[in-house]
Amino acid sequence: MTDRTFGQRPAVQSVGAFQCPTCGGPIALRAVGISVTAVCRQCSTVIDTANPNLRVIQAANKKAFDTDIAIGTRGELFGTMWEVIGYVRKWVKGTVYAWDEYLLFNPWEGFRFLSQSNGHWTFFKRLNRAIEGIGRNTKLTYDDQTYTVFNKDRVFVDAVQGEFYWRVKTGDESDATDYICPPYMLSSESTDDEINITHGVYVEPNLIKKAFPYARLVTPSGVGACQPSPHGSQGDTIVRLGAIAAGVAIVLHLAISGGLPNKSVIEVTGHPIQVMPLPTSTPSASTQPAGGAMWSLPGETQTAPTAQTPQTDGQPVVTESFTLPRMTNIRLDTATQIDNGWADFDLTLINETTQATYPMHESVSYYHGLDDGESWHEGHNAARTWLSSVPAGRYHLVIDAETDQFSKDGQLPFSLTLRRGLTEWSNLWIALLLILIYPGIVLFRQWSFESQRWSNSDFKPDGSRAASIDSSETESDE
Ligand SMILES: [Zn+2]
């Protein structure tokens, strides 16, 4: 009965079932009236179903096989029930790179394509419009999004099963170009006659599992071409927040450190420490610099030793006055020529208006020698002291020192520098490190994810050709 039906009706429309012209096995079309190519399940003969005589497009050349998602399986994806009606396996010429393409059909929605590569799935819809530059350009714009070329290959059909609304057979070749903008992909496949453009979206493997529970699913490996980064937009947010926090930390740090330019306010250079006991010297007369006359301040300074009696320290040195225009930190650097000895400095910063005092202490000691032929040294002959949040005002510094260093003339030169507005950068670096450590990890993960993705591409993320493409093409003869 079916045979007679064929003979009487030339058009394929009403033919839902027929016998394979090669093996006589039954073939039932699922997209009746649409499919023009069908593959016999028994002998894999490719049949032109639009031809009233069921012309054989391709004789049986491969054993029929079971596809991972069986032809005829139905599953719901993106809210629509689809029936798997066709399957094509495609290879990139000269490589081991292959992928599966399932043709999905729904009588109301039409056709979709589901492609699988290394366990990663993409759901494609055919676009009925041209896209400028597709197949040629390295970047494309579609729906206001920029797509970057990912692969461009000569591909051939390695196996077909089921039925199709176009002519297809094993060995068909085409030029395929994929562009990605994760989770989307734009693909073009062109032959001499036509170009097909499809737009795809990455499908999480668990959705495929849910839609086709009886399918044999490959465990995903690596990163899919248009697989969205799991660190994606969230990662961008974290990195952006980190950058903002770092900016705030820098601004705060500069605000707290006074915003004053780093400036040397006072330098006391070459002032000798009058070393006692040296009974012959008369410290007050011989060593006091001009500023020493200021040594008659009230308050704390009263307790400082005077030079009237022999003592172990020298005359205090009083610096000239200086102004701190606003609250700032200060840093005192003291340098000596201590050599196998020590010196202690009692430093008092005095606010001339409020008489507030800021005592500081610096010790230096420097020893060196030879032990069993090995030289050693310990300590330093310089010291540094920080003082933070010193209010604005007019100040001077009283320096009182003692040392065990007996030089020939009973004096030990030292120099002292007081700087204001210095930024203690180490605090900022620690803060920045803490702020940026997590965004850094996220960035690294994103980078590593993207480099895995692009390791499957002949291109670089900027669309330029990776060097490896040339070598892979020359090796393709093997
Ligand atoms: Zn057959």
Query: What are the domain boundaries of the chain?
Result: 2-58, 74-211, 263-422
Distance between Cα 97 and ligand 1 center (Å): 29
Please give the pLDDT value at position 286. Answer: 37
- In CATH, what number does 263-422 get? 2.60.120.380
Cα 25 to chain centroid, rounded: 58
Distance between Cα 41 and ligand 1 center (Å): 6
Please give the pLDDT value at position 211. Answer: 95
Please give the pLDDT value at position 420. Answer: 80
316: how many CB neighbours lie within 10 A of its CB? 22
357-384 pLDDT per residue, tens:
999 998 888 998 888 888 898 988 888 8
Distance between Cα 43 and ligand 1 center (Å): 4
Q: Is the pLDDT of residue 350 over 90?
A: yes
418-446 pLDDT per residue, tens:
888 766 677 788 888 998 898 888 888 88
Cα 430 to chain centroid, rounded: 20
Distance between Cα 64 and ligand 1 center (Å): 9
User: What kind and span of H or E run contains 397?
Assistant: strand 393-403
Average pLDDT of the chain is 80
Q: Is the pLDDT of residue 62 over 80?
A: no
Q: Is the pLDDT of residue 471 over 60?
A: no
**Nearest-angstrom CA–CA distance, 354 and 300:** 12
Question: How big is the chain, counted in residues?
Answer: 478
The tokens describing 452, both together, are: 């895995």
Task: Calculate mean pLDDT across residues 75-81.
Answer: 95
pLDDT band at 66 (very low <50, low <70, confident <90, very high): confident
**Nearest-angstrom CA–CA distance, 63 and 301:** 106
Please give the pLDDT value at position 294. Answer: 32
**What's phi and psi for 103, nearest 5 deg?**
-95, 125
Choice between 332 and 466, residue whose per-residue pLDDT is larger: 332
CB 249 within 8 A of CB 431: yes
**Around ion ligand 1, which residues have CB less than 5 A away?**
20, 22-23, 25, 40, 42-43, 45
**Nearest-angstrom CA–CA distance, 316 and 304:** 8
Please give the pLDDT value at position 173. Answer: 93
Maximal CA-CA distance, the chain: 140
pLDDT band at 274 (very low <50, low <70, confident <90, very high): low
Distance between Cα 361 and ligand 1 center (Å): 101
The model carries a pTM of 0.65
Q: What percent of the chain has pLDDT over 70?
A: 79
Give the single-character DSSP code of 43.
T
Distance between Cα 26 and ligand 1 center (Å): 8
Distance between Cα 21 and ligand 1 center (Å): 7
